[in-house]
Structure 1
């Protein structure tokens, strides 16, 4: 890697940082839910047009752009940033607070999009200094099945031209600003959604003998389902089953005719994952039937586990150490959260790394998916610079 190119990228990241923070403020104030990122996509297109970067639209709101350096066919690297927000009411008191009631960039996708736009500006400015082509993927719908990544792949985002590798970052409030973290191999879990409806005729609460008690049945089922993990799964094979919603009943003296449960299964092993599906369906069906009720159960198969290519991750980490200093790069912890970047990583070599955005001294350490999540915006300069560096150099020694 050219030290001169690295220095040029660092200089431009510093030069463009203030502008990109304003971009982040605009995106944060105008969040849009999954698959509804119409204004966000239009804003991205406006920014790309101003940079004379060509783009096309896929999966309705996805924006795919290309930047060609010297010898554009030599290597092709993809950089991905997701765009969607969450259905959360923001509680931060900041000038750029969400203007959309009940919708907030509580997972940092505004930061991801901003870093990718910043990288685009850097790469475009320096396009005579690096070789190959960079494909920018501004992706919709990361937060909701089936995942915008899966839709874009179906529409050919990994073709014409076909990248040899793909990179993405994710904010990490538990990691201090100025730091990055990487992990090779399995990084995040698969995620499946569980939907259960328990039905009976219902009845008077004073006469439970005349009906099946859907509330009691649901309670037994919630407890029993935990045995799927504790008594069937290898304890050294990470897996989580959580029931997260219990809806049923509307007054004190009526046993409801219907109770609905929702939950999620997380796993790090594909064979176990689908065996667990079978066990969940079998246990739920037999338990509910044995207690006199009927059941509808659906498991919505979601994202697979995120797999970081070992060689690509190692090379990216070395570049990060050169960019920030070895002391500012660490190992990412294994996480049971899920990410639809997994779809890309099962198709081509991928590297999904963490961007430190926390600052305990300033009280910035609240986790993602919360109404008071925020970042130290010094992270934007680092994120955009690192993405630009990986775009310009990322596939030089990383093909598998």
Structure 2
């Protein structure tokens, strides 16, 4: 069951104000942490300096922790009101292989690596949450488990390693919360989506092999480019003609390259890379089978061969309905009615999805946009945030944790 999924009396206004004040007091430290992390980004599963930095911050707060999933950390804050459930809070800590184009005093110092997806914000916010919870721990029972997770951006996803190493055991948390930057929302706002929210993500690697030859004599060759064109068109019909129109699904090939070739040369082979996304695990499995039959059948019928490799990625992300509606209401109590919005389904993926298939979970969006400025999308070399978001991020997550454990 989700923690406190039904409305419960609010604690004294003093506690809400105390958490609000602490989030404000810790905001300069959160900005400092975020800028340090932004300057020193590390790729997935290589986050050793990041791990050491987080450990140093936890040491200052006197919060016990242990290393997990090689480059991750798991910390625990025990409440002062005795035994109770565990609530987990997660931040991812890895960066992307992007050369930053921003020119700020906190621009990445690791050339070609950038926190372009806001994981520096997630980590700094959770450190701020840790500071708040350490200061108000006498107000709740049970404990809050902090997951500083590596490798969100790379298969198999750091969440799988955290789970394998026992992050959700001894005891199992009653629920888990995660937040993610969202440039379309202004700083100070947050967004929620109860139920299925994000798509499964699989990587597609396809090699189509023919027989090269002169472009003026195609009858003496087996043209893999023409075979590939037929395959791409046919695969798209798996979406338009075979998928239930009420079920979102996407197949995209984002990279195509031939093995040689020129204006008058037919190459021997073509290689493609793509992605498959859907919101239903049964249909996801069926699409895997249909794609394999389709590509091999078309290639064989045209005299060539095709080999499809599917790298199984993250499952779809499902927010627990009761927990997420409860969290939305609590966010309204903490931030104000006008600061909380409901979001549409999106076809991007997140390895937080693995947690959502193990226990009640709520993954929500943290507004980071600057009013009056053009949006700076994630995964771009100009991504940046309004650092006022750190006060919202640290404070709201602390409030959700405390409210989950209040007695």
Place the TM-score, normalised by the shorter chain, in its bin. over 0.9
1:265 aligns with 2:276: yes
1:213 aligns with 2:223: yes
Q: Is the 8 A contact 1:164 1:395 kept in 2?
A: no
Secondary structure of 1:385's aligned partner? helix
| TM-score when normalising by structure 1 | 0.96
Secondary structure of 2:196's aligned partner? strand
Give 1:80 shift: 0.1
The aligned residue for residue 349 of structure 1 is 360
Q: Is the 8 A contact 2:81 2:139 kept in 1?
A: no
Give 1:87 shift: 1.2
The aligned residue for residue 39 of structure 1 is 49
Residue correspondence of structure 1 range 164-313 to structure 2 within 5 A: 164-252=174-262, 253-313=264-324
Please, which moves more after superposition, 282-291 or 253-262?
Answer: 253-262
- Which residue of the other structure, out of 117, 122, 137, is the alignment partner of 1:107? 117
- Which residue of the other structure, out of 89, 98, 113, is the alignment partner of 1:88? 98
Secondary structure of 2:242's aligned partner? coil
Give 1:72 shift: 4.6
- Which residue of the other structure, out of 380, 384, 394, is the alignment partner of 2:404? 394
What is the CA–CA distance in structure 2 between the aligned matches of 1:196 and 1:283, rounded to whole Å?
12
1:8 aligns with 2:22: no
Give 1:395 shift: 4.9
What is the CA–CA distance in structure 1 between the aligned matches of 2:74 and 2:153, rounded to whole Å?
19
- Which residue of the other structure, out of 149, 156, 164, is the alignment partner of 1:139? 149
- Which residue of the other structure, out of 74, 88, 91, is the alignment partner of 1:78? 88
- Which residue of the other structure, out of 377, 382, 405, is the alignment partner of 1:372? 382
1:33-69: CA deviation from partner (whole Å, max 9, x where unpaired): 1111111111111111111111111111110001111
Secondary structure of 1:36's aligned partner? coil
The aligned residue for residue 148 of structure 1 is 158
Secondary structure of 2:89's aligned partner? strand
What is the CA–CA distance in structure 1 between the aligned matches of 2:224 and 2:32, rounded to whole Å?
52
Q: Is the 8 A contact 2:91 2:122 kept in 1?
A: yes
Please, which moves more after superposition, 213-222 or 188-197?
Answer: 213-222
What is the CA–CA distance in structure 2 between the aligned matches of 1:360 and 1:283, rounded to whole Å?
48
What is the CA–CA distance in structure 1 between the aligned matches of 2:328 and 2:96, rounded to whole Å?
30
What is the CA–CA distance in structure 1 between the aligned matches of 2:305 and 2:16, rounded to whole Å?
63
What is the CA–CA distance in structure 2 between the aligned matches of 1:289 and 1:360, rounded to whole Å?
56
Give 1:251 shift: 4.8
Give 1:166 shift: 0.2
Secondary structure of 2:100's aligned partner? coil
Instruction: Report the number of matched residues.
Output: 396
What is the CA–CA distance in structure 1 between the aligned matches of 2:166 and 2:367, rounded to whole Å?
32
Q: Is the 8 A contact 1:180 1:329 kept in 2?
A: yes
1:328 aligns with 2:355: no
What is the CA–CA distance in structure 2 between the aligned matches of 1:213 and 1:362, rounded to whole Å?
49
| TM-score when normalising by structure 2 | 0.94
Secondary structure of 2:378's aligned partner? coil
Q: Which runs of 5+ in 2 are unaligned?
A: 1-9
Q: Is the 8 A contact 1:186 1:305 kept in 2?
A: yes
Q: Is the 8 A contact 2:84 2:405 kept in 1?
A: no
Secondary structure of 1:105's aligned partner? coil
The aligned residue for residue 348 of structure 2 is 337
What is the CA–CA distance in structure 2 between the aligned matches of 1:215 and 1:362, rounded to whole Å?
44
Q: Is the 8 A contact 2:88 2:175 kept in 1?
A: yes
RMSD between superposed Cα atoms in Å = 1.4
Q: Is the 8 A contact 1:88 1:370 kept in 2?
A: yes
